[in-house]
Amino acid sequence: IKKYKGKNFLTLLDYSSEEVLELLHFSRLLKQYQKEGVPHQYLVGKTLAMIFEKSSTRTRVSFEVGMNQLGGSALFLSSKDSQLGRGEPISDTAQVLSRYVDGIMIRTHGHEIIEELANNSTVPVINALTDDFHPCQAMADLLTIYEVKGTFKGIKTVYVGDGNNVAHSLLIGCAKVGMDVTITTPIGYEPKQWIVEEIKAICEETGAKFHITNDPIEAVQGADVIYTDVWTSMGYEEETAKRLADFEAFQVNEELVKYAKKDYMFLHCLPAHRGEEVSIEVIDGKNSFIFDQAENRLHVQKAILVALLGS
């Protein structure tokens, strides 16, 4: 997998269908190695800098543990305690960090920030969530669907809720691997139009079907996978009250999942708000795979790290 060396991982739009599938395949292999205790220290002596401008549990822990398991190390930098929080330009930060570390992971606000970081870094930059994308999450989502369903062919994934970063990356990922994908949002919370255009173009290539609707019941008909995320993402807190009202009809609950296939799987990137975007019965029920999904963050990110930072 030499061809990935030195590449960034900013959005799945930069990766072909074959590359996404190849990285998923490698993730499964690394997962198997870890379960069986097979050594896989591909990144001995390598360091990953991890910049967080927003909170995190899964991303921070899975990247740090992943680097350790690969024989390297990871360095946590919160924007609050680093000079970034005091206004040091992102371009200077990029050039300085590039002199010390072998890769930079960042969780930030506007997607243009990660682009500026990448443009000024001489080491690979990995997107750990921006306002527009969460590609590492989408890779874990795809791996989880594949493990449970055994295929992407003929599988219908339905995203219910806010057309946010997680939704964007999930839709792109599903389209890339040829899964049928539907998104249903309240009016005014649709995914960004330019991203919808990209998804449609990918579907043309892969033969996947894409559907967008404001009617959740229509959307989940025959779903194999139902996915939701919080109604208020980090950085949008001042809209919380309005969003609670606007999303009322979009809770994933027993009533809604009746329209899905009997063996549908429920996914959520976490953290979740039980009783808001999803009912307790659904998220803690037998169709929920949220903890396998969270675990898979570790395995897919290890694959991405080896591909980009490995020699």
The tokens for 245 are 């009202």
Binds ligand CP (CB under 6 A): choice among 24, 145, 172, 269: 269
Question: Which candidate in 60, 134, 168, 299 is catalytic?
Answer: 134
Cα distances (Å, whole numbers) of residue 265 to 39, 147, 224, 225, 280: 32, 11, 6, 5, 15
Residue 299 binds ligand CP (CB under 6 A): no
Contacts with ligand CP, 118-157, as mask; x by CB under 6 A: -----------x-------x--------------------
Distance between terminal CA atoms of the chain?
Answer: 10
The whole-angstrom separation of Cα 214 and Cα 143 is 28
Please say which residue, 55 or 122, places its beta carbon nearer to ligand NVA: 55
Residue 124, annotated as binding a ligand:
no
With CB under 5 to 8 Å by kind, the binding choice for 196 among ligand CP, ligand NVA, none is none
Catalytic site includes residue 269: yes
Catalytic site includes residue 137: yes
Catalytic site includes residue 28: no
Residue 251, annotated as binding a ligand:
no
Residue 62 binds ligand NVA (CB under 6 A): no
Residue 291 binds ligand CP (CB under 6 A): no
Residue 270 binds ligand CP (CB under 6 A): yes
Count, residues in the chain: 311
CA atoms within 13 A on the CB side of 177: 28
The whole-angstrom separation of Cα 177 and Cα 206 is 7
Residue 56, annotated as binding a ligand:
yes
Residue 39, annotated as binding a ligand:
no
Q: How far is the CB of 269 from ligand CP (least distance, A)?
A: 4
Binding residue count for ligand CP, defined by CB under 6 A: 9
The tokens for 302 are 């290890």
Angle, CA 231 vertex, CA 227 and CA 237 arms, to 5°: 150
Picking from 263, 258, 10, the residue whose alpha carbon sits closest to that of residue 121 is 10
Binds ligand CP (CB under 6 A): choice among 27, 59, 127, 296: 59
Picking from 26, 254, 297, 271, the residue whose alpha carbon sits closest to that of residue 137 is 297
Report how far Cα 105 is from the mean position of its chain's Cα atoms.
Answer: 14
Q: How far is the CB of 52 from ligand CP (least distance, A)?
A: 9
Residue 284, annotated as binding a ligand:
no
Binds ligand CP (CB under 6 A): choice among 11, 27, 56, 79: 56
* 37 bridge partner residues: none
Question: Which candidate in 60, 102, 229, 301 is catalytic?
Answer: 229
Those residues whose C-beta lies under 8 Å from the C-beta of residue 6, and which sit 6 or more positions away, are 123, 124, 308
Indicate the SS3 state at residue 199. Answer: helix
Please say which residue, 8 or 233, places its beta carbon nearer to ligand CP: 233
DSSP 8-state code for residue 127: E
Residue 165 binds ligand CP (CB under 6 A): no
The whole-angstrom separation of Cα 213 and Cα 219 is 7
Question: Which candidate in 107, 243, 268, 299 is catalytic?
Answer: 107
What residues numbered 237-296 form the site for ligand NVA, per CB under 6 A? 269
Catalytic site includes residue 69: no
CA atoms within 13 A on the CB side of 126: 29
Known catalytic residues are 107, 134, 137, 229, 269, 297
Q: Which residues bind ligand CP (CB under 6 A)?
A: 56-59, 129, 137, 269-271
Binding residues for carbamoyl phosphate: 56-59, 83, 107, 134-137, 269-270, 297
Q: Which residues bind ligand NVA (CB under 6 A)?
A: 129, 164-166, 229-230, 233-234, 269
